[in-house]
Amino acid sequence: MWNEPVVISMGKDQPAMAVRTSIEALRVLDGWWQKVDGPAFQNAINVCIAAIRHETSEEDARAAFVSALSEGGVILHPVE
Condensed to tens digits (0 to 9), the pLDDT of residues 36-69 reads 678 999 999 999 999 999 999 999 999 999 999 8
Per-residue H/E/C for 37-63: CCHHHHHHHHHHHHHHCCCCCHHHHHH
Give the whole-angstrom CA distance, residue 32 versus residue 21: 16
> How is the chain split into domains, by residue range?
6-10+17-77
Instruction: Kindly report, residue by residue over 12-23, the tens digit of the pLDDT.
Output: 777 888 999 999
